[in-house]
Amino acid sequence: MKSTKYLLFGLKYVLTYRFLKEKTPLICGLVMHNKCNLSCLHCRITERPVDSLSYEESKRLIDSFYSDGGRTVYFEGGEPFLWHYNGYQLEDVVIYARNKGFYSTIIYTNGTCPIDTSADTVFISLDGLRKTNDVIRGRVFDKIMNNITMSKHRALYINFTINSYNKDEILDFCDFINGVKQIKGIFFYFHSPYYGYDDLFLDDIKKREILTRLIENKGKYKILNSRAGLKAALNNNWERPLKICRIYEGRRKYECCRFSGNVNLCRNCGYLSYAEIDQVLKFKPSAIRNALKYF
């Protein structure tokens, strides 16, 4: 249950964004480091030459984002649960952010470490059933599922990135997750061509077919994307880049994502959580209801 203070903050934010055109920062991502224990087909983050954040730097960035008005912070990597610095662990940074006054703390993880955190929400990447996921992400499906079932966290969600390998088992995956009580929902993304148009990329026609199927099946499965968000993706008309979202990687600050500044990439962007935010800012009820679950 969200606090009244958080709900009022959200309402005020949306109103000032819409009517006064004030675009203060809303969500901040902290890249704790770019180290990862997996080598997924679609990801080259580990090649980025950026050092780990120190605990002091992470606090400084959290303070600075708070002063700018942001109240939601997420932690990512690489794999954020692997981050440590002079005896500090990710949990210390999560606690610092909460004590600072952030209403929502979120972790994006590959799920291979125990999921033991006081962060409000945890998104775990899984890109298919065992065989498919393990082609894309390495042989980790069983380990991830074990960590999910062992976790006592009450807001676990799956991030599923749709690509040419897993596109035909989306509903089978949804069916499987319906039987996993710890998982509250599945958020669907599309593979974005950050590194060019590779074999994983899906064209607009295929994406539209998939989005139509997701909309049709939304009531049957734990599909987290809202109807409004899926329709915005179907029409590919959500506003981007979304400059109210920031990401800090080492000393660099990006708006929207670490690959911003490429119009063609943005047009083919599969980062559908930004389509959700766009729809919240346009007062779409289904997107607002959804956002209250995980922000």
Residues of this chain that interact with ligand SF4 (CB under 6 A) are 192, 240-241, 256-257, 259-260, 265-266, 269, 271, 274
Task: Residue 240: name the closest of 232, 252, 251, 230 by CA.
Answer: 232
Question: CA angle, 92 as apex, 249 and 155 as ends, to 5°?
Answer: 85
Helix (H) or strand (E) holding 250: none
The runs of H, that is alpha helices, within 101-137 are: 130-137
Q: Rounded to the nearest whole angstrom, what is the least distance from the CB of residue 246 to ligand SF4 in the complex?
A: 11
Q: Residue 265 or residue 287: which is nearer to ligand SF4 going by CB?
A: 265
Q: Residue 34 or residue 133: which is nearer to ligand SF4 going by CB?
A: 34
Contacts of 214 (CB under 8 A, 6+ apart): 170, 188, 223, 225, 230
Q: Rounded to the nearest whole angstrom, what is the least distance from the CB of residue 131 to ligand SF4 in the complex?
A: 29
Amino acid in the structure at residue 109: T
Q: Residue 81 or residue 278: which is nearer to ligand SF4 going by CB?
A: 278
Q: Rounded to the nearest whole angstrom, what is the least distance from the CB of residue 190 to ligand SF4 in the complex?
A: 10
Q: Residue 122 or residue 269: which is nearer to ligand SF4 going by CB?
A: 269
Q: Residue 78 or residue 132: which is nearer to ligand SF4 going by CB?
A: 78
Q: Rounded to the nearest whole angstrom, what is the least distance from the CB of residue 118 to ligand SF4 in the complex?
A: 28
Q: Residue 46 or residue 260: which is nearer to ligand SF4 going by CB?
A: 260
139: tokens are 């042989």
Q: Rounded to the nearest whole angstrom, what is the least distance from the CB of residue 265 to ligand SF4 in the complex?
A: 5
> 253 by DSSP, 3-state: which?
strand
Under the phi-then-psi rule, with left for phi > 0, alpha for psi from -120 to 50, and beta for the rest, what region is 218?
alpha
What is the greatest pairwise CA distance in the chain?
A: 50
Backbone φ, ψ for residue 208 (5° rounding): -65, -40
Q: Residue 183 or residue 265: which is nearer to ligand SF4 going by CB?
A: 265
Q: Rounded to the nearest whole angstrom, what is the least distance from the CB of residue 267 to ligand SF4 in the complex?
A: 8
Under the phi-then-psi rule, with left for phi > 0, alpha for psi from -120 to 50, and beta for the rest, what region is 121?
beta
Beta bridge partners of 21: none
Q: Rounded to the nearest whole angstrom, what is the least distance from the CB of residue 140 to ligand SF4 in the complex?
A: 25
**How far is the C-alpha of 121 from the C-alpha of 106, rounded, in Å?**
5
